[in-house]
Structure formats: C-alpha cells, structure tokens
Amino acid sequence: MKKIICTVLLAFITLSIGETAESVPLKWGSRILEQNAEWYGASDAQTAADNVIRFQSNVGAWPKNTDLIARISDEEIARTQSGGNANTIDNGATTTPIRFLALVSNATGNPNYRDAVLRGLDYLFAAQYPNGGFPQFFPLRQGYYTHITYNDDAMVNVLELLRDVAQSRAPFEFVDVARRVRARDAVNRGIDVILKTQIRQVDKPTGWCAQHDEVTLKPAWARAYEPPSLSGNESVGLVRFLMSIDTPSPEVVAAIEGAVTWLRSIPIRGQRLEAVKREDGRTDRFLVSDPGAPLLWARFYELETNRPLYTDRDSKPHYDFAEIGIERRSGYHYHGTWPSSLLERDYPAWRASLAAR
C-alpha cells in the first residue's frame, strides 16, 4: 500500500512540476538563448521568431528595452521601429535577436529567419565606423549617441557575435563566405580601435572610458552623470574580450596586462555599500566603514588621479558618494564588484593558457 501511495504521489509531483514549467510564459531576454537545442525547432520558438522579425526595422536593426515576442498591432510595431529606442546595439538590442533567429534558423531551415539574420549582420557592417568603433544608434543620432560605445558591453556584444560569424561557429554555419570575410575584417578593426582607445597614464596602459569620441578617440561624456573617466565596469568586459582572442598579439597581451594591473590598483578598501529601503519605496545607498568588506570598485575614476568620481545630473564632479542626490544614489550603480571574478579566476586561467602555448 505504501508503495502504491508513493508511486501516485511521485506521479502527481512530476505532473505538477511539468504543468508549472509549461505554464511559465516565455519571456524575451538573454535567457531565450539558453534553451535546450530541441526547443528552437518547436512551434513556440517559431512563433516567437516570427514575432521578432516583425520588430526588425527597414535598416535591419531592432529596438532596445522592448518585448520582442509581445503580440501587438502593426501600428504599435511601426511606432516602435521609428521611436526613440529603435535601431541600436544598446542593452542587447540587435545582437540578441540575431543570435536567437540564427538558432531557430538552424533548427528549422526556415529561410525567413536566415534572411533576417543576414539583414541584421548587414546592419552591423554598415553601422561600424572606418576606425572600427560602433555608435550606440545607427543611423546616427545627434548627441553622445555617436560616440564609440563600450557602455554596458554594447560594442563587445557586437564583436563577439561577429567573431562567431567569422569563424563559422554554431549557429552561424549558414552565413555565406563574403559575410564571414566582412565579419573578420570588422572584428580586426574593432580590436584595433580598442587598443587605440586604451587610456594611458605616464605611458602605461590602464582602462577605458565607457564611451570615446568617434573622431579623436578621447574619453567623452555620455549622460550628464556619465563623465569622461576610467571605467571600473566596462574595462572588465573589454579585457575579457581581448583575453578571448585565440592568438593574441604582443599589443593585445600588453593591453590586458596593463588593464589588470590598473584594476588591481584601484579598488575601494574597507568600505561596504549599504542599501536601505526608504519609506517611499526607493533603495538608498551609502558607503559605510567596514574593515572586513570585500573589495569594491567605482563605476568612474578620475582620468589623471584614479580617484573615484561621482557626478549627479548637474554634471559637477564629487569625490564623496554621500554628496550625490537620492535620485541618482538609488537609481544608478556607482559601485560594483565587476572585476572580482576577472582578477581572481579568469585572468590567472588566461595566463596559464598563454604560458602553455
């Protein structure tokens, strides 16, 4: 009797789990690239892919901060394609749709998905500056959007995708030879501009700004609270990309070593980032003294001095985080542990791999 009860109970639990998993709605985001291989050939994936194609603009790009699998009207689609979030590489826009459609194309053989991927790749080729950099939006928009955009790994996402295309990695085996050649050239020019934009102090390579002027290659302003500076965040993504190069040149190795040395020299020690929930629902943040706190890095460092730099919406420089208003303290990440895993795990592994070659 106990055996029968246990068997029935196990079947009920299994059925319940299955029903729960199936009832969870599919959401657009980077996790859509992490499904099992069989799913990309299923009807749900194809329905999602059909909808993603609807959002592709006439220049081949996609909007950011948009649910690309939401079922909305053609009129709403048209507004999205021409709105303020359209035609960008920011926040995973364009690169994530291309990767998703390539997965579904490989799984189904549907030429519509393949053609949308190729149009997306052509958009990226057109968007790249001759010097190798990528703007945040293309066609170009007036303002800081024209700068070479390392912010939030926008350009790194593009270069990683184009590298996969150039090397005919899955799921991009279907891309033609001509586009693979263009992708290889785009990646090489991207590496070149990364090396050229690395900020030097007393002729030593350090980190990068989140955005660089597309003509002078100098660190540049973005939003009012994002000053020309050295980035404790974006520099990490750029180092990881450079470490992923199969056969790094001496210049690439020197860039990595310089950036790692710099990241090791600038952490905030003995302070902890404290988060406090306010009555109005916002999460306020403060730095508090804590000798045992893990290492912390600032988002921005002053170019000449490496001092943590804070700017509010008035763009005035501050060196004390407490001087920043609550609106930005609660709404922007001025601190993080971004370099931790790079310095503790990834860089040593890269050094060992390099030595073994």
DSSP secondary structure letter of residue 295:
P
Query: CA distances (Å), 312 to each of 35, 36, 247, 276, 284, in order?
Result: 40, 44, 42, 20, 15
Domain definitions of the chain by residue range:
28-197, 199-357
The rounded distance, in Å, linking the Cα atoms of 117 and 105 is: 9
Give 136-139's long-range contacts (Cβ < 8 A, gap of 24+): 136/88, 136/89, 136/90, 136/211, 137/87, 137/88, 137/90, 138/59, 138/61, 138/87, 138/88, 139/59, 139/87
pLDDT at 119: 98
Query: 28-197 with 199-357: one CATH topology?
Result: yes
pLDDT at 342: 98
User: Which residues, including other chains, have CB under 8 Å from residue 250's CB and lie 6 or more apart?
Assistant: none
The rounded distance, in Å, linking the Cα atoms of 163 and 182 is: 10
User: Which residues, including other chains, have CB under 8 Å from residue 233's CB and lie 6 or more apart?
Assistant: 210, 297, 299, 333, 336, 338
| Peptide bond between residue 171 and the one before it cis (omega within 30 degrees of 0) | yes
pLDDT at 296: 98
pLDDT at 24: 54
Residue 283 in 3-state DSSP? strand
User: Which residues, including other chains, have CB under 8 Å from residue 243's CB and lie 6 or more apart?
Assistant: 256, 346, 347, 350
Kindly report the pTM of this predicted structure. 0.91
Give the right CATH number for 28-197 from 3.40.640.10, 1.50.10.20, 3.40.1160.10, 3.40.50.300.
Answer: 1.50.10.20
User: Which residues, including other chains, have CB under 8 Å from residue 103's CB and lie 6 or more apart?
Assistant: 33, 40, 45, 171
Residue 91 falls in the annotated catalytic set:
yes
pLDDT at 357: 83
Give the right CATH number for 199-357 from 3.30.70.1710, 3.30.830.10, 1.50.10.20, 3.30.1360.120.
Answer: 1.50.10.20
Chain-centroid distance of CA 98 in Å reads: 14
H or E stretch including 37? Answer: none
Residue of 54, 189, 223, 307 marked catalytic: 223
Residue 114 falls in the annotated catalytic set:
no
pLDDT tens sequence for the chain (357 residues)? 444 444 434 443 333 333 333 445 688 999 999 999 999 999 999 999 999 999 999 999 999 999 999 999 999 999 999 899 999 999 999 999 999 999 999 999 999 999 999 999 999 999 999 999 999 999 999 999 999 999 999 999 999 999 999 999 999 999 999 999 999 999 999 999 999 999 999 999 999 999 999 999 999 999 999 999 999 999 999 999 999 999 999 999 999 999 999 999 999 999 999 999 988 888 999 999 999 999 999 999 999 999 999 999 999 999 999 999 999 999 999 999 999 999 999 999 999 999 998
pLDDT at 14: 37
